[in-house]
Homo-oligomer: A and B are copies of this chain.
Amino acid sequence: MKKKDIIAKILFVITLLAIWEFVSKNHLLGPRSELIFPSLEKIMQAFVSNFTKGYAGISLWTYVINSLKLLLKGLVIGILGAFILSGLATLSHTLASIFNLLISVFDLLPGVALLPVIIIVLGVNSDVIVFLVIHSVLWPMSRSILDGFMAVPKIYVEAGNNIGLKNLSLILGVYFPASISYLLSGLKVGWARAWRGLISAEMIFGIASCPGIGLYINQMRTNMNNAEMYATLIVIIIIGVIVQYGVLAPIEKNTVKKWGMSS
């Protein structure tokens, strides 16, 4: 069963790549389409050159490391913030309804429109990017947690109350584990949000002394180095897949699956 799935996944990826290569090799989308659909070979070469040559004499590694640091910082703060706010929301109906309003409003605001305010408050440094990552993660993550907490079956909350759980102990002892499948779902969304938030933040706001992957992509875009840009996306994908199958899936297996809370 599991082996079948892995084979299916590999076949699927190969099919996608084959389609790409077919479009590229046959110039299906216009005579100059190899600029936009470079062949897989070119992308692989670009992949290597990203790491050996890099941009401005700096290997892509450095960009990736810089970005991952900011990403993690934003992600952790965003997740913790979401937990704290959602936790507070369980304490009172009024807090919950204010918090709901807060999410509904702030989640709509494009980060770029907040930039002037952020720059004035935080100055010009990597905190701005961290802030924008937090802004991308905090609201959808809070939404998942809050909705997860709301959907916790009443009987678990009552069983918790019954053995004296209140406030923090109730959140940690009941709300948290009982809504774990929401939390994991939120974590997956939050993780993707963080990446996209990071890259767009680094695109509108690049610090040359701490250059990130978004700046790199922007650079490759500016220079029309599409092969290098796709190769950079592949790096993002690889990191994403590692996190998905190396971190999130095992967590899932050891919680929701093990506890019979998910099929």
- Contact flags (1/0) for A125-166 with B, using CB distance below 8 Å? 000000000000001100110011011101001000000000
- State the number of copies, please: 2
CB proximity of A99 to chain B, nearest CB, Å: 10
Show 28 A/B contacts (Cβ-Cβ < 8 Å), sorted by A: A4-B94, A8-B97, A9-B97, A9-B101, A12-B101, A30-B120, A33-B120, A36-B120, A37-B120, A100-B244, A103-B188, A107-B192, A108-B192, A108-B236, A108-B237, A109-B233, A110-B195, A110-B200, A110-B214, A110-B217, A112-B200, A113-B217, A116-B226, A139-B192, A143-B192, A147-B185, A151-B181, A189-B189
Nearest 7 A/B pairs, CB to CB: A147-B185, A107-B192, A5-B97, A104-B244, A110-B199, A108-B240, A36-B116
Residues of A at the B interface (CB closer than 8 Å) are 1, 4-5, 8-9, 12-13, 29-30, 33, 35-37, 93-94, 97-98, 100-105, 107-113, 116-117, 119-121, 139-140, 143-144, 147-148, 150-152, 154, 157, 181-182, 184-185, 188-189, 192-193, 195-196, 199-200, 203, 214, 217, 221, 226, 229, 232-233, 236-237, 240-241, 244, 256, 260-263
